[in-house]
Amino acid sequence: MNKREVMKVENLVRNYKMVYSDRQDEEEIKVLKGLDFTIEEQEFVGIMGKSGCGKTTLLKVLGLIDKPTSGKIFFTGKDASELWSDELADIRRREIGFVFQDFYLLNSLSVKENIMLPMVLDKAPVDKCYKNVKAYAENFGLSHLLEKQPYEVSGGEKQRVAICRALINNPDLILADEPTGNLDSKSGKYCSRLILLKDGVILEDLKNSGDQEAFYQEILEKMKEL
């Protein structure tokens, strides 16, 4: 049975221009260099590579936060380049959940309010907001912290708050930028698939057949090429 295609990337390129005021010229930095891949529903995909290989840039582009220089991104069949800015904002709010490295919790809001923020922005009924927050808080062991401010909880608790916020709208896609620290070979073996990036290109797209140890050894071998 074919699974639904959540994300499709075709010849994705992202360049940035560096302007040097002292030299009065600019340089084009090529970060992503023609990536092609698809992500299907229920896939747990890890992205690995050395610092500067383009991981964070790729996540921003996949999350429709940043636009590619060229190439195509299809989200649940929709061509992102043909969508208006308000349509992209709706997708980011309703259909994509983000877990950022620095969490980006609002200290002016309580833990409860931070978790429900995507639902509030989506104008969901208040009773539904509270019901969903209660359920996720119980699952992640945060029920006793709901009235606290983010600066009153630990780093690990902030992380769980950020994950709850990402899940609260039941999105089609979750994008997490190093949610548990750098993804290494040991944690990578739990992915159903692992994309290895090197210098802005896909070095390898590994599939986990179910044998965790064999997948781990395959990851170790490929990491030598990074």
CA–CA separation, 147 and 187 (whole Å)? 33
CA–CA separation, 209 and 47 (whole Å)? 17
Look up the pTM and report it: 0.84
Q: Say yes or no to pLDDT of 181 above 60.
A: no
User: Tokens 């309703």 correspond to what residue?
Assistant: 94
pLDDT in the model for residue 109: 97
Pick from 168, 6, 2: which is nearest to 94 by CA?
168
Q: Say yes or no to pLDDT of 131 above 90.
A: yes
The domains of the chain, with CATH numbers, are 1-83+187-226 (3.40.50.300), 96-171 (no CATH)
Cβ 133 vs Cβ 146: under 8 Å: yes
Pick the more confident residue, 10 or 187. 10
User: SS3 of 52, please?
Assistant: coil
pLDDT in the model for residue 6: 96
pLDDT in the model for residue 101: 81
Give the tokens for residue 32: 């992503």
Q: Say yes or no to pLDDT of 225 above 90.
A: no
Mean pLDDT over the full length of the chain = 90
Ramachandran quadrant class, 158 (left: phi over 0; alpha: psi -120 to 50; beta: rest): alpha
What is the rounded average pLDDT of the residues 143-169?
94
Q: What is the pLDDT of residues 8-50, one digit of tens each?
A: 999 999 999 888 776 677 788 999 999 999 999 999 999 988 8
Cβ 106 vs Cβ 97: under 8 Å: no
User: SS3 of 77, please?
Assistant: coil
CA distances from 14 to 32, 49, 128, 226 (A): 5, 17, 39, 20
Q: Say yes or no to pLDDT of 221 above 90.
A: no
Q: What is the pLDDT of residues 64-105, one digit of tens each?
A: 999 999 999 999 999 999 999 999 999 999 999 999 888 899
Percent of the chain with pLDDT over 90: 67
Which amino acid, residue 221? E
134, 138, 140, 146 alpha-carbon torsion, rounded to 10°: 50
Q: Say yes or no to pLDDT of 191 above 60.
A: yes
